[in-house]
Structure formats: structure tokens, C-alpha cells
Amino acid sequence: MAIVETRTLALPGIRLSARVAGAGPLCLLVHGFPGSSYSWRHQMRPLADAGWQVVALDTRGYGGSDRPAGGPWTSEAIEQDLLGVLDVLGAESAVVIGQDFGAKYAWNLARHHPDRVRAVAGTVPFADLPQDAPPSRLWAGLGAEHFLHLHYFQAPGMAERDLGGEHVEEFLQRLLWALSAEGDYFSVFAADGSASYLQALRPAPPLPWPWLTEADFATYVDGFRRGGAGLEFAGGFGSYRAADADWAFESRWLGVPIHQPALLFIGEHDPVRRFTQVDRSLFTDLTEAVVPGAGHHVQQEQPEATNRVLLEWLGRLG
């Protein structure tokens, strides 16, 4: 069985922490929010034992990675980080697999740098962003009607005050539960637009849960608290606030398809399934899989089923 080690990867201008296992072609795992490299703990050894060098990152602003003052937290900056990881590891190309924000970064990398991405997979659908207005303008209109986390995160300082410090554990527990198969994320929309995210989220049942132990949760909390007061969620909050910059950046590739083998694997009960759709015209070779019994944290909630999907797809790459 493969050994999982923690390494620090020194890139130009930033150091990223990563969990590494195995040897062979590179398979890069990219987490979302709220998450970390630990989100992929159930995938590390099975993929490594199948012949891959598996590297799960803490992206900038998360876990053991640097939280640079002022970021940047844009897709473009994180894209450069991912390319830097490939360079540091001496890989001409990699299979890139992402969850939540990580899926966005994986799809973008495959589209923007096809020579560096052998194949790509993500847990959320991929489509071009609407071009009639920056996202923040749309979110502001919706946020005036009811709570909307996308709008809530736009004001610097507000989320840091409401969700950081003494509130970290409660926020993480409520959000992780709400996004799971057993949770009810859409209840947040019943809250008034002036509510904090913590107020909008319903209380979560006590740990342990079927897919998250108290020790797992403590690892998450420790990773976020490493940033210190006000910077616990620097990477996540920064990514939400970079939405307009990302919209402008990604508009340069409108209509450009992803030609590499691609996999969309999404939880049966993932809230994302209710308000986003995959644009199949942007893929040349797309495999789709719905993982039964999983919510948004598909690779954690149903690890065995997720691993079967991933290993079958990876096995077809040759």
C-alpha cells in the first residue's frame, strides 16, 4: 500500500503544501471550499496503488500553503500555481481532477493549457459564463431579495468578522453538513439578504457523521486556523471576490472546447445539480457519472463509489 507524505513545493513567489503518494504519471487533485488536500484522503492510496503519482494540493490560502498578503486569489493566479507544480515535479503533463472551486481550476487549465493536461475531471459542470454583465452585478440583485452566499462574500471584512475567530468551527460544521446528501443547503435562501452566512445555515447534528469523524473535522479546523485571525478562510473568500476578474479572464476562451478525455462525476444529491448544467458542446470526449448517495463532497461521502468511477476512467486512458 502506498505511503502518503506531506511535502512543501517551492514555486516562484509562493510555497504550497501537498500530500503525495505513489510513482508514475502525475495525477493532480485540487480541492474546493471549504476543503484542503485532506479532502482527497480516501483517493490517495487507491490511485497511487493503481500506478499514479498522486499529488493533492493545499491551494494558496489553504492549509499548510502560503496566504500571501493581498493574494492574488484569481483563477489566473491559481492556474499559474498549478502549472508551477507541474514544473517543480518535472511533469510535462498531468491528469487534473478537481472538486468545487478545484473543478473550475481543472476545467480552465485543460482549456487554457491543453499541452499540460492529459485528461481532466471535475465534480461540478462546466459552461461558459454569461457575458452580459459581471457576476457580482447579478448576485447583488439576487442578494437584495434573499440571502445569497455569492453576494455575501463580496464585501471585504464582513465574512472575516462573521465567520472567523470563535465562529470557525460552527461555520465549517454547518456548511459541510448543509452541502452533504443529508443536509438541506437550499434552506439558506429563506434567510433575509441582511443575514450572515452563519445565521442563514441551519445547525448541524453533532459529530461524528457517517462520512466525517471528529478527528477528520479537527484536521479541517486546524488547516483553516493556520492562517491566523482574519485569514482563516483567505483562499476561499478571496476566490469568491475574484469572480469579476475571473469572468474577464475566462472570456478570452469563450467557445473553446476541451478536447482531452474529460469526466464529470457529481453526487446524486449535490445542490449544484439543481442550478447548473453542463455545456456538452464544450467537450469532445466527455464521460458523465452520478455517484449515488453523495452530496457536494462526493469523494468524501461516497469514497468507494467515487474511487470506482475514477479508477475505471483513469484505466481507459492507457
Give, in degrees to the nearest 5, the angle at Cα 301 between 220 and 107. Answer: 80
CA–CA distance from 204 to each of 175, 176, 199, 307 (Å)? 8, 9, 12, 27
β pairing state of 94-98 and 258-267: unpaired
DSSP 223-245: HHHTT-TT-TTHHHHHHHHTHHH
Q: What are phi and psi of 268, to 5 degrees?
A: -55, -35
Tell me how far apart the alpha carbons of residues 44 and 29 are, in angstroms, rounded to a whole number.
Answer: 9
> Cβ distance 273 to 131 under 8 Å?
no
Residues 6+ apart with CB under 8 A from 247: 129, 134, 135
Catalytic member of 31, 112, 269, 296: 296
**CA-only gyration radius of the chain, Å:** 18
Q: Is 100 one of the annotated active-site residues of the chain? A: yes
Catalytic residue selected from 100, 216, 246, 270: 100
**Where in the sequence numbering do the catalytic residues fall?**
100, 296
